[in-house]
Amino acid sequence: MTTTKIALITGANKGIGKEIARQLGQLGMTVLVAARDAERGRAASAELTGDGIDARPVLLDVTDPDSVATAAKQVEQEHGRLDVLVNNAGIIDAGDQDGRAVADTFERTYATNVIGVMTVTRAMLPLLRKGAQARVVNLSSELGSVSLQSDPDGEFSGIRLYAYNSSKAALNMLTVMLAKELQPDGIAVNAVSPGYCATDMNDHEGYRTPAQGAADAVRVATADGPTGGFYGESGTLPW
């Protein structure tokens, strides 16, 4: 088995996920470009490989437990362990606008943003336990900060994406619970907000680039030390 660090990034065929894969690859890691669309995953991997990065496509739909189990088996067979897991895949459902979200919107949002993260993390845990100082990074958002949302004068208080915001708050709690569970195994689990990046999710209206958002996740994914924290460009963020 290779001694190079192995990193798997969900939703890595575009946007912030692909930039996280690029930056981890530039640090010498083998990056597993996980995507639910096989063709797009292969295309992203080929692009990264063309830039001199050791990138491998992995077919993985975070909302499909069978797909996740198959991906975990592939990683085990080809690499034997996992050193970094970045749970990047996330959605804002089209129906999640101005507080109008209904049950179906919540179900679709939570299936990816919360349940998908837990499904992937649980499936990859045996491999992470074999990794070297393994790190799990969950891509969250300042919109999921209860403290920031509670500030009536804050910049986020008027953004009423009920399903998305609450899913990221749930993800933050999941991060804390996993961090406590996995600390005895030496696995650090942290949440990172990449900020408002220009991606498909917001019709590329964000004021940060995907590369800038990715840098925050990569910094936490490669840091020695803290676990159970919530971080962004400015440092520690309030829950």
Active site positions, annotated: 164, 168
Cβ atoms within 10 A of the Cβ of 173, count?
14
Question: In this structure, are residues 24 and 6 in contact, taking their beta carbons and an 8 Å threshold?
Answer: no
C-alpha of 113 from chain center: 9
Closest listed residue to residue 209, CA positions, set 15, 9, 17: 15
Residue 142 to residue 196: CA distance in whole angstroms:
9
Question: Angle at which helices 162-182 and 103-110 pack, to 10 degrees?
Answer: 30
Residue 96 to residue 194: CA distance in whole angstroms:
20
Q: Residues for the chain: how many in total? A: 239
Question: In this structure, are residues 33 and 39 in contact, taking their beta carbons and an 8 Å threshold?
Answer: no
Residue 139 to residue 175: CA distance in whole angstroms:
10
